[in-house]
Every structure is written in C-alpha cells, then in structure tokens.
Amino acid sequence: MRLICFQFVGFACRSTLLAAGLLLSACSDNASSEANRAVPPPTGHYEGPVSYQGTELRVALELRETRPGQLSASVSFPQVPGLEFDALTARYRAPQLLLEQQPGQAASLTIQAVREGDFLRGVMHWDSVQADFVWVRRGEAAASGYRETTLAVGTQRLRLLLPDDTLARHPALALLMPPAATAAAASRATYLARHGIVTLLVPVAAPAPLAAEGPDSVALQVPVAALAGLRRQAAVDSGRVGYWGSGATARQVAAAAGRLPRPDFVVLEAVPAATREQAQPYQVLNQLRIPALAYYAGLDTTAPATASARRLRPALGYRRGTQIRVIPQVTAGFLKPARTGPDGQWQWPQPAPEYWTGLVDWLKER
C-alpha cells in the first residue's frame, strides 16, 4: 500500500513539475512575442553598396512605419534612375527584415536582412544574382514623393496616389490591374505619381479569351466608375484623364473607352495584335478620336512585338498624338538585362530611358 502511495505521489510530483515547465515555456513564448512587438521597426534612410563580380551598385532604402507594426519600403539606385520601386512585401520580425519587389515572380528583387543597431546586414537576390551587403542608417526616411489615399468606387476603396508637389491640377491615369499585373501596375503608379501624374489602381478580373460576343459589360462597370470618380478629384485636371492596360487587359481598356465617360487618352503595353481579329477591338479608339500610346518590349515573349505593332498601327489610326513604340533588347519590364559586358565587367540591369521619359512626357502633353 505504501508502494502504491509512493508511486501516486511521485506521479503527482512529476505532473506538477511538468505543468510548471509548460507554464514557464508558455510564459517565455509570450514574453518573446511581446518583446518582438515592443521592438520598434528599423525605420529610416539606409544606404550602402552591393557588389557582384567586382561591379558595385549603390542602394538607398527608405523604411517607413505607415501604422503601428506595418512597414512600407522604397528601394532606389542613385546611379541608375528608373530602377526604383516600392516593395509589395515589407515585413519585420525582430531582428529579421524581408522585402520583396514582386512576390512569386522569378525576376523579383528580394532583400533579406538582420538588424544590428544602425546597420542592416543581409543578402540581396535579383533574378539569378545573389549579393551580400551591409547598409548603414543615415537619418530619417525621405518623403515618398506622393501622398496616398483611397477613392471609393462602388463597394471598393481603390488606392489613389497624388503627387506631392505644388501644382493645383494634374493629368491622371486609371491603371487596370488584373492579378497577374499587380506588380507592373503598382511600379508604374508609384513612378508616375512621383513625376506629377495622379494614379489610381483599379483591380479587375483576369480577362477572358478573345470572344466574338464582345466584352462583358459587368466587368467594365468598375473601370468606368473609377474613371468618373478620378475626374472629380480636386487635384485632377478633368480634361486629362485616361486608362492604362497591359497584355490582354488592354482589350478591357478599349472596351471601357467606348463607354461614358470617355477617356481623354489611353496607354497600352504588350498588346497581342498580330492578327486582324486581335487588332479589331482597338479600332474604337480611332473611331472616337482617342489618342493612344502603345509600347512593346523587344524581349517580351507574351506578344510578338513587330507583328503586333504592324497590325495595331492602322487600328489605332494615324492622327496626331497616337504613337506605337517598340523598344528593342528590353524585357517586359522595359529593362536591359544584366550581363557581362565586352570588357568582362558585370553590368547591372538598366532601365530603358525612352520608356519612362517618353511615358511621362507623353502624358503631360495631353
């Protein structure tokens, strides 16, 4: 009987110790979690180099806390204007920082770093390139160059970017953004907002295959309402408002252009128009005398640039203001790919200046 009591007491003691251990472990985990939440994020202006195969590239990083615990990040390259971007992913879990330009995309730039006081130490991945870095904090984060707010369109609140300048009125662009073009639309929206263009990001469903019955009128309701709402903004010149669309989404731009209110211009990229059937939907822009700027990237495999440009030209018409530009030897993002030059030196990706400069100039001339 004493043996039974001894075993029972021993079991009770062990149970008590186990419970105490679990309690201490839980308390420790909770304390760690609370500590992480209590650590302020590494906001500020960071700068430093990355180097690959002996070629150095300067990087500037602006980290801002938009609301408690939530970061935004802008990455720029002072030596190469036009490569800057706002990260779609910006996450900090002390002491680790993760920034992603285009999550899930093969050519996306990713930054993984550990905070060490006023330093960020980590690795930058860019396509197949991997480069270590140490960047130092040099003060407060610079202003973003635009003000972000939202515009109510139906039941949605759409992201609206306003240039942070002294002009009273600006041209404006509603960017139609299916899931596959989220990163492309966002990069253009932020760049243009920093250069005097009001931009509105308009999520739309992925376009259906080209069909004889024409566009889905329901799918056009949001873009048309977004354009109308954009025209009513105090910072927008109501006579200089247009649409942007890329790839198959450009068909939605052409269809929406036929609805009231009509756009004052449209910007198209990578429009598949190598056949008469593919080019036909864009004739409405010619019929309604709506100026169009169409861009093709020579290395983009989603649309045959030369054949599409040749078919699209007569569909858009030849009036003043309508232009089709094919930029050779650039990717779908209008970048000259990284490569080893004739001198054996590594060359980082370079933006096509005729794309960004040409786009901004054309929009401001409307």
Element (H, E) at 297: strand 292-297
Helix (H/G/I), strand (E/B), else coil: 357: helix
Residue range(s) in the chain whose domain bears CATH number 2.40.128.620: 44-137
What fold does the segment set 44-137 form as a domain?
Lipocalin (2.40.128)
Q: Are 197 and 363 in contact (CB under 8 A)?
A: yes
Helices (H) and strands (E) in the chain, counts: 8, 21
Q: Give the model's pLDDT for residue 133.
A: 97
Q: Give the model's pLDDT for residue 107.
A: 73
The Cα 200–Cα 177 span in angstroms is 10
Which homologous superfamily is 146-365 in?
Alpha/Beta hydrolase fold, catalytic domain (3.40.50.1820)
pLDDT band at 62 (very low <50, low <70, confident <90, very high): very high
Q: Which residues contact 320 (CB under 8 A, 6 or more apart)?
A: 291
Q: Name the percent of the chain in helix, strand, coil, to the closest 5.
A: 30, 35, 35
Crossing angle of the two packed helices 250-257 and 217-231, in degrees rounded to 10: 70
Token pair recorded at residue 303: 């649309």
Q: How does DSSP classify residue 169?
A: -
The Cα 190–Cα 193 span in angstroms is 5
The Cα 288–Cα 139 span in angstroms is 52
Tell me if the pTM is above 0.75.
Answer: yes
pLDDT for 56 beyond 70: yes
The Cα 53–Cα 221 span in angstroms is 51
The Cα 202–Cα 179 span in angstroms is 11
Mean pLDDT of the chain: 88
Q: Residues 239-296: pLDDT tens digits?
A: 999 999 999 999 999 999 999 999 999 999 999 999 999 999 999 999 999 999 999 9
Residue range(s) in the chain whose domain bears CATH number 3.40.50.1820: 146-365
∠ CA 95-98-103, nearest 5°, is 165
Q: Are 16 and 111 in contact (CB under 8 A)?
A: no
Q: Give the model's pLDDT for residue 81.
A: 87
pLDDT for 11 beyond 90: no
Q: Is the peptide bond before 261 cis (omega within 30 degrees of 0)?
A: yes
pLDDT for 33 beyond 70: no
Q: Residues 144-203: pLDDT tens digits?
A: 999 999 999 999 999 999 999 999 999 999 999 999 899 899 999 999 999 999 999 999
